[in-house]
Amino acid sequence: MLRFVSQINAGSACTRDPLFVMFHGYGNDESEMIRILEAVYRQDGHTDQRPSYLSFRGTYDRPYVGGSYWYPDGCGVKERRRACSEVGDGVVSLLDAAAFGNRRRILVGFSQGGYLSYRMIVEHPSFFDSAILLSPSFKGETDTVLASGTRCLLAYGTEDRTIPPDDQRIARRVLQSAGHLEYHEYDGMGHAICDQEINDIRMFVDR
């Protein structure tokens, strides 16, 4: 069952207003991505704007320490892809409605949520307009060929020890091969989000 919180504002009839479709990292919840989006919209005096979003909670709950995740820690590639496919198919079915027909669908995911967003582009290559992949996990994707027109922003910190350097390189190579990648690397940042990254996300969304 998909669990999410939403804020949907009336879209303009003449422009394709963005709808952010957001997925948090391992052990967190839907509020993580809302905080990131709110920070993006505080930049450059945009405090009066209230972005439309659906922020989803992971399908697996941690029973004792709280938080959720999208696929079991340490699972194999097949199980990871199967879990992502189930979520992706459900999200696409939800969004494939007249109410969202005039929206720019923008995926946003951090870590596990970034990998999930990437798999959604692979399996639904023409459905999403853009994807913002923040420090995504990428294990087991060496054989993937991405054939999609979705614009992607990919970002990592130079001190990220959670995502192995080889996986980061593979992520960049796979996404670059599709021809629509904007890549950012942040000096001194670990597996986290920094102020410059927030600003870069804002500029990416505005383009």
11 pLDDT band, cuts 50/70/90, is low
More reliable by pLDDT, 98 or 185: 185
Longest CA span, the chain: 48
pLDDT at site 45: 58
Residue 14, domain CATH: 3.40.50.1820
Q: Can you tell me the distance from the alpha carbon of 55 to that of 7, in angstroms, rounded to the nearest whole number?
A: 9
Give the pLDDT score at 122. Answer: 97
- Comparing 46 with 149, which gets the higher pLDDT? 149
Domain count for the chain, please give it: 1
Residue 13 has pLDDT above 80, yes or no: no
Strand ranges in the chain using DSSP code E only, listed in sequence order = 3-7, 18-23, 52-57, 60-61, 68-69, 104-110, 130-134, 151-157, 181-186
Looking at the DSSP assignment, which residues form a beta bridge with residue 84?
Answer: none
Query: In the predicted model, what is the mean pLDDT of residues 153-157?
Result: 98
Whole-number Å distance between alpha carbons of 65 and 171: 30
Token pair for 150:
């979705």
Any idea how long the chain is? Answer: 207
The domain containing residue 46 runs over which residues? 3-206
Residue 99 is classified by DSSP as G
Indicate the average pLDDT of the chain.
93
Q: What is the pTM of this model?
A: 0.94
Q: How far apart are the C-alpha atoms of 41 and 19, rounded to whole Å?
A: 13
**Which pLDDT belongs to residue 42?**
86
